[in-house]
Chain A
């Protein structure tokens, strides 16, 4: 990313979309919409002072909604370019309210609430589509109860939980526990407020609220208007404090997730959704299980899959190492259902095909290895570019010319063409660059010939 940001031959148009493409190989005219950031790119230094002062809190999409960000934000800390962006859906100023805190904070004078989308025209010789993929939404599989059972998460959510820069700073706190902790925090704030109110009365009457309330309930002070108010406030206070105490007691027992289940082929190799194999998910489950074990040496992981496709360089060795050193067991079987168990522990119901038995097992957390889904908007993009998609909406290529699309001069690399892992994507990126360079070279030769 850094290299892209710094390279003198790269013009990086981030936060932009293709509007229109005309022409042919060697001479494409492209219309690009540069979406308004409300921040001047040439002035913003990426210092982030604005987002510290911004009063509007928004769910953080980069952390899969598991954390929070501000209405002015950068996608993530080390993102390139470091230019910040105002989310117009949330920004108070852009929603017509009074604010402008960021503009006052920004010492570079980069905030511009008047900024509009800009249209840029480009002329290029070749086009490379590297639009990536989306994570399959497992809500579509009702028997896995994703979003219903809090401790069932997707692999990418789990990735964020494992990340030192993620919402839990890398601690494997279970979502259900985090929800209760958030509730405790909110209730504590409320309790502190109501405690203040109650304390006023205690001072006024020089009596503890508990003593007073016991007597009050026996029928004393019925006619005292002030003490009636006190009783009312104290009763309210108790409705906050009592559940808070219960929750706090419960939270004392919270520990990091130790028993993990990874479920393979969630949405992949599944006729209801995507019949293909997503290729990389076996390996990311093994990786996540190994990292989780590094965080907590008593962590155990079970990976449920049909085949464990450890097909890359060093992958099979990695798989075996995970089994020998990171407490991973590999169970062959398709998971039929995930049930809600005691203490928010999901229960995995599956068929162990080796033992030919239907079994169930309780876990602290379940991680879904979700399918590689064609990215949203790929239809529109393919339409604008005039290139064909395959039966699943990946960009169509042929095995003998793996990065050529159906239109000369337009190439594809990475998961926009088909699911693949990092090394293959990197290799393909070079392949697409090669094909694009060949187009440019042919163009030069034509020009030379025309001149001669």
Chain B
């Protein structure tokens, strides 16, 4: 397809990268070939296109040769595209009229032993790059203001930590808690392992700091019922006892926590003689009854099953902590922990595990195929290491049940257009590299809403999410690469909403217009991934710098 402009003048710079490229490809042949390509007005080989000399040659050529497109065939855009783009801009050329071809990673590095084939492939790639460059159009980055206010959902330890951190940095924070008071699960805990610090004292300290902080607005018994918009510009509705508050928000932190599984129907759970670890915390807070001399704890109660395959990470350390506290209150007590694997990872946990053995806590390994049986006053278990069944007297049975996803997590996920995983926990942007971000910009994650976390981890994540959230706040605006989706053919759009459902970033919405239902792109939220454009069966959507015409031109060039 011919370009709208008549006079396309492309400059092509082929980089030797020292010997990185030149050592393995036939550069003279490549250089001569480039000159034969359509629209190429200028071609040059450089030892290093990225060196000061190379950059100056690009700038000089743009001016002297009246170039209106630039192609560099060199290394990877991951490292060098920003440099070449800004060089174009410095010479007065719109930086999006630049195209990069990677003949190092894709030719010289992977075809080191095949000089002719590698050179032929480099020709193909450059021909394709030039064909696309001819159709490139100028773009302008999108800048959007960021409202200087954060919303934190959930006032457990992670949420309270995030709130305080952001407020201490001078940002306004709105903290929304659906319960009556701040503190979350911390309020139900007794002591915090491994230092056995008092949970309520720690919670009180945080609550006091939050209540006294001038930058923090707290809503308890409140819910976020609406969150329209995108990074920097959220319109949030908060339903409170005194009516709905409408607040402009820049960034959102999800710290809604988790919930301890109540083991209905498991191991004769009754909440009295057979209780959960959380109920044990309350019991220990009040002081253990005198008659409790034999305690059996059962790990993985309802966890690591077909239904809930994950290990809930923190139940072993909770059991060991509570076992030690029982021993402290009643040194004569016999405490046995029935386990599958003792998950006492790290320095502090393993240390506590060792201490507990010294204090006489007994550990009995059971096999999931042959789980313990709880009857009145007794637990029978197949002792995996002894190889036989044993009976343990039990005045109290404590079930270590997993943390499961919070009630309403799914609703929150839909409200904020962020995903949850198979186990109902929120799914971060990248499991390893972006643990506290969502794929959607402007929304962040901390604590057991992500995955069960102990106090140390929840505090760290609360701080971390605050740090992540503070980046757009401190910049004051977001600058978005203009390589995003566009509604290239509005008439073709039927407003079917397929793209809206598929967009991983919540960047699309259907709006009613004079012409009927049409898709609308939230520029700032779009990442230019192209999912929408490639699925739109009406070809109504397109992505800047990756339009159908441009990609077709590349394919046609390849097939020449």
Q: Give the B-binding residues of A (Cβ under 8 A).
A: 2, 6, 45, 47-49, 52, 107-108, 269, 275-277, 279, 307-317, 320, 332, 353-354, 356, 390, 392, 394, 398-403, 418-420, 422-424, 426-435, 437-438, 441-442, 445
Contacts and interface: CB of A to CB of B under 8 A. Distances in A.
Contacts of A422: 432-433
Given A307-B342, A434-B467, A276 B350 contact: yes
Interface stretch (B45-53, B132-140, B242-250, B409-417): B45-53
Interface residues of B, number: 68
Given A317-B309, A430-B464, A276 B351 contact: yes
B349 A441 contact: no
Contact of A47 (B18, B194, B365): B18
A354 B168 CA distance: 54
Contact of A430 (B197, B347, B463): B463
A312 B20 contact: no
Given A108-B51, A279-B345, A433 B467 contact: yes
B435 A426 contact: yes
A399 B433 contact: no
Contact of B343 (A275, A311, A398): A311
Contact of A316 (B170, B304, B431): B304
Contact of B19 (A47, A320, A392, A429): A47
Interface of chain B: mostly helix, strand, loop or mixed: loop
B169 A441 contact: yes
Nearest to B342: A307
A431 B309 CA distance: 30
Interface string B282-315: 0000000000000000000000100001110100
Interface string B320-358: 000000000000000000000111111111110010000
Given A315-B311, A390-B347, A437-B467, A45 B51 contact: yes
A392 to B, nearest CB: 7
B168 A441 contact: yes
Contact of A353 (B202, B385, B470): B385
Contact of A2 (B17, B79, B464): B79
Contacts of A420: 346
Nearest to A308: B341
B37 interface: no
Contact of B465 (A49, A317, A430, A435): A430
B165 A438 contact: yes
Contacts of B311: 310-311, 315-316
Interface string B437-468: 00000000000001100111101111111111
A356 B467 contact: no
A409 to B, nearest CB: 14
A419 B23 CA distance: 44
Contacts of A400: 192, 195, 197, 202, 455-456, 459
Nearest to B192: A399
B347 A2 contact: no
A419 B384 CA distance: 30
A445 B169 CA distance: 10
Contacts of B350: 269, 275-277
Given A430-B465, A438-B168, A309 B345 contact: yes
B82 A6 contact: yes
Nearest to A45: B48
A372 to B, nearest CB: 9
B251 to A, nearest CB: 14
Contacts of B17: 47
B197 to A, nearest CB: 6
Contact of B464 (A353, A431, A442): A431
Interface string B77-96: 01100100000000000000
Contacts of B463: 402-403, 430-432, 434-435
B141 interface: no
B267 interface: no
B546 to A, nearest CB: 22
A392 B347 contact: yes
B348 A399 contact: yes
Given A317-B309, A399-B454, A423-B435, 12 more contacts: A47-B20, A48-B18, A279-B346, A312-B451, A313-B431, A353-B365, A354-B385, A356-B385, A399-B195, A430-B436, A433-B467, A438-B168
A434 B464 contact: yes
A448 to B, nearest CB: 11
A234 B281 CA distance: 86
Nearest to B171: A441
Contacts of A314: 310, 421, 431
Q: Which of A6, A390, A423 has the most CB of B within 10 A?
A: A423
A209 to B, nearest CB: 36
A140 B536 CA distance: 62
Contact of B170 (A315, A429, A441): A441
A29 B456 CA distance: 31
Given A275-B354, A390-B347, A438-B168, A427 B435 contact: yes
B434 interface: yes
Contact of A427 (B78, B193, B194, B461): B461
Contacts of A423: 431-432, 435
Contacts of A276: 346-347, 350-351
Interface in B60-90: 78-79, 82
Nearest to A421: B432
B425 interface: yes
Contacts of A419: 346-347
A430 B435 CA distance: 10
A163 to B, nearest CB: 15
Nearest to B308: A316
Nearest to A280: B345
Given A107-B47, A390-B347, A426-B433, A437 B341 contact: no
Contacts of B342: 307
Contacts of A403: 460, 463
Contacts of A429: 464
Q: Which of A309, A317, A435 has the most CB of B within 10 A?
A: A309
Contact of A434 (B165, B349, B354): B165
A104 B100 CA distance: 31
B387 interface: yes
Contacts of A418: 346-348
Q: Which of B195, B342, B354, B459 has the most CB of A within 10 A?
A: B459
A1 B559 CA distance: 37
10 contacts: A47-B48, A277-B345, A307-B342, A311-B343, A315-B311, A332-B365, A353-B384, A390-B347, A426-B434, A437-B467
Contacts of B169: 434, 437-438, 441
B205 to A, nearest CB: 9
A431 B19 contact: no
A445 to B, nearest CB: 8
B50 A399 contact: no
B153 to A, nearest CB: 19
Nearest to A437: B169
Contacts of B462: 431
Nearest to B157: A400
A355 to B, nearest CB: 8
Nearest to B314: A311
Nearest to A354: B384
Contacts of B18: 45, 47-49, 107
A2 B78 contact: yes
B149 to A, nearest CB: 17
B430 to A, nearest CB: 9
B464 A427 contact: yes
Contacts of B450: 313
Contacts of A277: 344-347, 349-350
B491 to A, nearest CB: 41
B389 to A, nearest CB: 15
Nearest to A445: B170
A44 B350 CA distance: 48
B343 A437 contact: no
Contact of B310 (A316, A394, A398, A442): A316
